[in-house]
Amino acid sequence: MGPQVGIIMGSDSDLPVMQAAADVLKEFGIEIELTVVSAHRTPLRMVEYASTARDRGLKVIIAGAGGAAHLPGMVASITSLPVIGVPIKSSNSIDGWDSILSILQMPNGIPVATVALNAAKNAGILAATIIGSFDPTTGDKITAYKRDLEAEVLKKVEKLKSGGWSNSFD
Ligand code: RP5
């Protein structure tokens, strides 16, 4: 079938964070492609990547960047695919807020679905959820994933109920 999700990032220094998106998409059995595309250092490559993404069969793009994080917004301005932005607390980021606001505060007309700081795993889950909205196999996996999360929490509730909580933080 070919990759359904494109994971791109401004630098290979973003990879330790962005790896989590690739890992969770692999768990859901979704084929990905992953590469470096820099809005500032390789602007022509960014235009090429974004303008061909849909024709190449991608359904969602996840774009991570830090500091003056223009990659997700610029890619969203070119492609008609949904773009999920991952703000990264990178070496050139002051405190993470620069990355968050650069990705979050998009003008009307060009939305980017922005996840929390360094939250590449959530970006992967959101990408799988978008694919699950038209692919029942993936949709069922998302349902099962959420049931598992619920079961884990309920197990913790039971543990606190039966074992007590007073020594839990010793
Ligand atoms: C951004 O600058 C990248 O997305 C990365 O988060 C940051 C630092 O890049 P390097 O200097 O490590 O290549 O464009």
How far apart are alpha carbons 33 and 5 in whole angstroms?
A: 7
Ligand 1: which residue has its CA nearest to atom 6?
A: 66
Is the CB of residue 90 below 6 angstroms from any atom belonging to ligand 1? yes
Asked if the structure places residue 98 within a domain, the reply is yes
Asked if the structure places residue 86 within a domain, the reply is yes
pLDDT tens-digit map of 100-135: 999 999 999 999 999 999 999 999 999 999 999 999
Q: Provide the number of structural domains found in the chain.
A: 1
Asked if the structure places residue 55 within a domain, the reply is yes
- End-to-end Cα distance, the chain: 51
Asked if the structure places residue 169 within a domain, the reply is no
pLDDT tens-digit map of 37-93: 999 999 999 999 999 999 999 999 999 999 999 999 999 999 999 999 999 999 999
Is the CB of residue 132 below 6 angstroms from any atom belonging to ligand 1? no
pLDDT, greater one: 114 or 1: 114
Is the CB of residue 42 below 6 angstroms from any atom belonging to ligand 1? no
Kindly tell me if the per-residue pLDDT of 168 is higher than 80: no
Residue 3 Ramachandran class (φ > 0 left, ψ -120 to 50 alpha, else beta) = beta
Asked if the structure places residue 132 within a domain, the reply is yes
Ligand 1: which residue has its CA nearest to atom 12?
A: 13
Kindly tell me if the per-residue pLDDT of 170 is higher than 60: no
Is the CB of residue 33 below 6 angstroms from any atom belonging to ligand 1? no
- Per-residue pLDDT, 169: 59
Asked if the structure places residue 167 within a domain, the reply is no
pTM (2 d.p.): 0.95
- Per-residue pLDDT, 167: 64
Domain limits at 133? 5-162
Amino acid at 8: I
Asked if the structure places residue 170 within a domain, the reply is no
- Sorting pLDDT into bands at 50, 70 and 90, what band is 158? very high
- Sorting pLDDT into bands at 50, 70 and 90, what band is 164? confident
- Sorting pLDDT into bands at 50, 70 and 90, what band is 23? very high
